């Protein structure tokens, strides 16, 4: 269950539940974990799939911030910890300019 905190209005007004469900799809969790394993931001590989599913509205800054907030909760629930914020994403066409990177916590 997503805890929207400061994104409550964005979650409510911008299709937040659909985005949360999308991020929790098995394939997208695998994408985020693989990106993390490769020391890349978790949301980086999701860009084309987000655009395909939600269209250009997904590019809005507040929605992208909420996606990052959601990704953090998903990754932490799966045993990851924040490694670094504001990691640059240089891939042309990616909706994210920067995002957070996670590492698997030691057991």
Three-class DSSP category at 54: helix
Burial status of residue 36 (CB atoms within 10 A of its CB: 0-12, 13-18, 19 or more): buried
Whole-number pLDDT of residue 35 = 98
pTM: 0.96
**Chain mean pLDDT for the chain:** 97
Which is more confidently placed, 1 or 106? 1
Please check the confidence at residue 103 and state whether its pLDDT lies above 80: yes
pLDDT in tens, 28-77: 999 999 999 999 999 999 999 999 999 999 999 999 999 999 999 999 99
Whether residue 10 contacts residue 63, with contact meaning beta carbons closer than 8 Å, is answered with yes
Please check the confidence at residue 106 and state whether its pLDDT lies above 90: no
Adjacent-strand bridge partners of 81: 103
């Amino acid at each position: 269950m997503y805890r929207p905190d400061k994104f409550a209005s964005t979650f409510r007004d911008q299709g937040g539940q659909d985005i949360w469900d999308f991020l929790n799809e098995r394939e997208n969790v695998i994408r985020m974990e693989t990106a993390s394993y490769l020391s890349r931001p978790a949301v980086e590989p999701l860009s084309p799939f987000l655009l395909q599913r939600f269209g250009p509205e997904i590019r809005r800054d507040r929605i992208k911030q909420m996606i990052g907030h959601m990704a953090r909760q998903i990754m932490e629930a799966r045993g990851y910890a924040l490694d670094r914020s504001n990691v640059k994403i240089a891939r042309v066409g990616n909706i994210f300019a920067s995002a957070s990177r996670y590492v698997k916590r030691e057991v």
